[in-house]
Amino acid sequence: MASVTVRGWALGSVSLLNFAFVFISGADFIRFVSFRAIYHNITGETALCQDSVPWSVALRDRSVLGSLLVDLGLLLLFITQHSLLAWSPVKRALQSVLGVLHRTAYCFTTGLALQVLMRYWQPVTGAPCLWAVRHAPWSVWFPLLCFSLHFLCWAVICSLLIVFDYPELMGIKQVYYDCLGLGDPLSHKSPQAQRLLSHLRHPVCLELGVVLWLLPALSLDRLLLAGALSGYLALAHSLDRRDLDFLCLQFRTKVQLLSDGQQDDHKGE
């Protein structure tokens, strides 16, 4: 019994430490991909680009090409980690070696890949912007509008992650269920929910697309980041009609429950 308790505490500690690391990495990613880019443009001025440099010169500049090459390598590292560890043979191998910590390992390596990407990302400052809002009054109002929409999108993303069972996504629920002898958390979900989760592990496509592309100024390295992540998200999702029908059914059920709850409250009054 003592060994089981020690094992449970050890697994729980690892999963909670991983949760803290992933949470911090997620907060860093929000700063990196969203608010830092807007902060540089909040007054309408930007130091991200050199519009006086012609494209013909910029695209032959070794510093520009070198930065893009480094950034492309960082994106490939993240995409490779995210795809390779989600590949069925690799998932089965991780499960056989790590047991209930396999999801924890996936989230940890994802956070680590993100940290590497953010720490070594090379801004391209020697090329023109693809667009930049610099003329009053939009030079002030458009960055503020971007900030507001980015904040709203991140709030929606966080809400969706909670709805899609955030503890299970982070690997905490697997450890908790194992300690209680309940097995895999996914086995307790309906077949429709399991099918949906297998097709949509990232319910954030639209919101993240807005965050990636809606900026007061779009530099060359940001184009690479937004294009690569948008393409990866589009290819990684495979929702079909059955998934859509299940989502619609769940939505109608939630709305009906909310309506019934409000009617009960009125009756109680």
pLDDT per residue of the chain (269 residues) written in tens, 0 to 9: 455 588 788 888 888 999 999 999 999 999 999 988 787 655 545 567 787 888 888 889 999 999 999 999 999 999 999 888 888 888 889 888 888 898 899 999 999 999 999 999 999 988 888 888 877 777 778 888 999 999 999 988 887 777 667 787 788 888 877 777 777 666 656 665 655 555 555 556 778 889 999 998 889 999 999 999 998 887 766 554 555 555 566 666 666 766 766 555 555 55
Q: How many domains, in total, are found in the chain?
A: 2
**Is residue 78 located within the same domain as residue 118?**
yes
Contact 205, 164 (CB under 8 A): no
Half-sphere exposure of 29 (CA within 13 A, CB side): 21
Burial 48-70 (b: 16+ CB within 10 A, else e): bbbeebeeeebeeeeebeebbee
**Is residue 122 located within the same domain as residue 194?**
yes
Return the SS3 of 218: strand
Which among 176, 237, 175 has a CA at the least distance from the CA of 205?
Answer: 237
- Token look-up 């009617």 returns 263
- Cα-based distances in Å from 213 to 71, 90, 137, 209: 17, 33, 21, 6
Q: Is the whole-model pTM more than 0.85?
A: no
- Domain extent at residue 73: 2-238
Which among 179, 157, 40 has a CA at the least distance from the CA of 99?
Answer: 179
**Is residue 253 located within the same domain as residue 183?**
no
**Is residue 15 located within the same domain as residue 130?**
yes
Contacts of 98 (CB under 8 A, 6+ apart): 104, 105
Q: How many angstroms separate the CA atoms of 140 and 71, rounded?
A: 30
**Is residue 261 located within the same domain as residue 165?**
no
